[in-house]
Amino acid sequence: MKKTLLAAALLAGFAGVAQAETSVTLYGIIDTGIGYNKVKGPGIDSHSKIGMVNGVNSGSRWGLRGTEDLGDGLRAVFTLESGFNSANGSQLQDRLFGRQATIGLASDSWGQLDFGRQTNIASKYFLNIDPFAASFGQSNLGVGISQTNTLRYDNMVMYQTPSFSGFQLGVGYSFNQNDVAGSSFETADNTRAITAGARYVNGPLQVALSYDQLNGDNANDDATPRAYAIGAAYDFEVVKLSLAYGRTTDGWFGGTTNAPGGLTNFGGQGSFADGFKANSYMVGLTAPVGAGKVFGSWQMVDPSNDKLTGGDETMNIFSLGYTYDLSKRTNLYVYGSYGKNWAFIDDAKTTAAAVGIRHRF
C-alpha cells in the first residue's frame, strides 16, 4: 500500500514538472459579418455588392502555440497558425498554415530567433500605431504604407532583441518571400526580402521605425523596391493620437483586396516598378466610448509618377469604426471607409462598410 502511494506521488510530481516545462496552447478567432462594397472608376461601370464578409476586425484563424523549457533561461518555441474563411469554411493563404509557421529559440536575456513563414518587422511594430490595427480592409494603414499590411514572407530567418526599457530591435531575411509555387534552385531566381526596424513602447508612448527591401529575381532585377516608415502614437487616455509617414520607391510591397470591377489592387504582393516613388501619410484617433472604442483615420498617398498603376493622382482614404465589447472574448464592430482617386487613378472611388461579430478563444 505504501509503495502504491509512493509511486502515485512520484508520477504526480513528474507530471507537474512536465507540465511546467512544456506547454501547447490551442487558440483562434472567428470573425463574420455583413458587408457592402462599391467601386467606380473612369471607363468602368459602377459595381456594388452586399453580402457576408469574413475577417474584417481580425482574420479568422486557428493555431497552436508551444514552448519547452531547455534550461538556463532558454526556450524552444513554435507557432502554427491557419487562416480560414468563416463564411464558407474554406482555407486561406493557399497553405495549411498560411498565417504563420515558425520554430525558434527564445530567451529573456538575448531575445528570440525564429525560422519560417511570418510577418515582416514593419507589420509587427506598426500594428498598435494603426487605429485599425492592420484590419478593416481599405481602412488599415497598410493600404498607404504597404509594408505594414500584415505582409508575410516565406523562408524567413528573424531575430528580435529583448525589450530594453521599452526599446526593441528586429531584423529578418527571406530567401524566397513568396514560395507558394515552389523555390527555384538558383538563388537569383527567387525574390529575396530584407526587413528591419526598431520600436519604443513605454506607457502611453509608442514609436516605430522600419525598413524593407526586395531583391528581385532574374525577371525583376531592373528595380529594387525599398520602403521606409516612421510612426508614433500617444495615449492621452481621453484620446489616442496616431501619426505615420512612409516613403516607397521602385515598387509596392503589399496588395489590397478591395479592387473589383477592373480597378487595380496595386499589383499584389511584391510589385516592381523602376522609378516609381510615393510619399504616404496617416493621421488617426482612437477614443474609449462606454464598453467599446471609436477610431478613425485619414490617409493620403502622393505618387511621383504613373509607373505603378498607370495613374499619378493623390489618393485619399477616410475611415471610421467602432467596436463594442460584449465580454473579454466577444465584441461587435461596425466601420465605413471611402477612398478617392483609388490606386492613383483620377476619380476612381471605393466605398466599404461592414457590421459583424468577433469571438476569440
**Which of the pair, 257 or 295, is modelled with greater confidence?**
295
Express each pLDDT in 102-145 by its tens digit.
999 999 999 999 999 999 999 999 999 999 999 999 999 999 99
Distance of alpha carbon 102 from alpha carbon 172, whole angstroms = 13
Please tell me the predicted confidence (pLDDT) of residue 256: 65
**pLDDT at residue 183, rounded to an integer:** 67
Q: Dihedral through CA 148, CA 108, CA 64, CA 52, nearest 10?
A: -30
- Nine cell digits for residue 237: 487616455
Nearest CA-CA partner of 62 in 107, 16, 31: 31
d(C-alpha 274, C-alpha 302), whole Å:
17
Residue 13 has a pLDDT of 46
* 10 pLDDT above the threshold of 50: no
Higher pLDDT among residues 9 and 166, named by residue: 166
- Residue 24, amino acid: V
Classify residue 135 as exposed, middle or buried by CB count within 10 Å of its CB (0-12, 13-18, 19+): buried
pLDDT at 264 over 90: no
Least confident of 35-49, 151-165, 189-203: 35-49
- The pTM (predicted TM-score) of the whole model is 0.89
What is the spatial distance between Cα 290 and Cα 275, in angstroms, rounded to a whole number?
48
- Phi, psi values for residue 121, rounded to 5°: -65, -45
Average pLDDT on 306-325 reads 95
Question: Which tens digits make up the pLDDT trace of 265-309?
Answer: 665 678 899 999 999 999 999 999 999 999 999 999 999 999 998
What does the DSSP assignment read for 306-339? STTTS--PPEEEEEEEEEEESSSSEEEEEEEEEE
Choice among 7-11, 301-305, 338-342 with the minimum mean pLDDT = 7-11
Separation of CA 315 from chain center: 21
CA angle 145, 147, 151 (to 5 degrees): 135
